[in-house]
């Protein structure tokens, strides 16, 4: 297990279009494991390979579906299990017309958050860490995290998509990815 260094803006690797993964061998498996450990250590809800200075099309996401959705009064949320996603060469193949605003932060953009418009629902095609094809439908915050991470593979940072960025208040909690 290793915790990798997370690079921040203006590191140029964050602006590069990442290369497709073609080798799912031992080195790649090590990278996936280290990225999961790094995401958990940060802690973050997602991490894209360019954020650890590796220009490859790989993202890891770990998120409990209900984590930031509105809960009914008194609802018990602690039991919601987190789900881990490893997406290799991901591609968004369907996008809802419906757009939603939400507040995002990024582990590579310290001390800022911003309001970003994203598709409410998307369908992603990708490969898992062993190279098998997978297809995932996501909505709400999970769809937002996927869009944020896949943007990283194109060299896009959330601050490119909004003029509304600010330093978060101490009590303002935003998941980072």
Interface with Ni ion by CB under 5 A: which residues? 106, 177
Q: Which is nearer to Ni ion, 52 or 106 (CB)?
A: 106
Q: Nearest approach, Cβ of 114 to Ni ion (angstroms)?
A: 11
Contact status, residue 92 vs residue 124, Cβ threshold 8 Å: yes
Q: Nearest approach, Cβ of 125 to Ni ion (angstroms)?
A: 21
What's the CA gap between 43 and 21, in Å, rounded?
A: 25
Q: Which is nearer to Ni ion, 106 or 122 (CB)?
A: 106
Alpha carbon 176 to its chain's center? 8
What's the CA gap between 37 and 81, in Å, rounded?
A: 18
Residue with the CB atom nearest Ni ion in the bound state? 106
The residues annotated with a catalytic role in the active site are 149
- Phi, psi dihedral angles at 39 (to 5 degrees): -60, -45
Q: Cβ neighbours of residue 173 under 8 Å, at least 6 residues apart?
A: none
Q: Which is nearer to Ni ion, 49 or 106 (CB)?
A: 106
Q: Nearest approach, Cβ of 149 to Ni ion (angstroms)?
A: 7
């Amino acid at each position: 297990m290793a915790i990798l260094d997370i690079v921040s803006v203006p590191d140029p690797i964050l602006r590069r279009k990442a290369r497709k993964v073609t080798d799912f061998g031992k080195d790649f498996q090590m990278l996936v494991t280290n990225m999961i450990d790094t995401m958990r250590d940060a802690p973050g809800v997602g991490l894209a390979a360019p954020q650890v200075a590796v220009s490859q099309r790989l993202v890891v996401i770990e998120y409990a579906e209900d984590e930031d959705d509105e809960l009914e009064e008194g609802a018990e949320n602690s039991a919601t299990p987190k789900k881990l996603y490893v997406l290799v060469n991901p591609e968004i193949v369907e996008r809802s017309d419906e757009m939603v605003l939400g507040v995002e932060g990024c582990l590579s953009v310290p001390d800022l958050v911003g309001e970003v418009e994203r598709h409410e629902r998307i369908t992603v095609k990708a490969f898992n860490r062993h190279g098998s094809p997978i297809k995932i439908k996501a909505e709400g915050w999970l769809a937002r995290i996927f869009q944020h991470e896949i943007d990283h593979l194109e060299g896009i940072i959330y601050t490119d998509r909004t003029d509304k960025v600010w330093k978060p208040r101490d009590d303002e909690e935003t998941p980072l990815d």
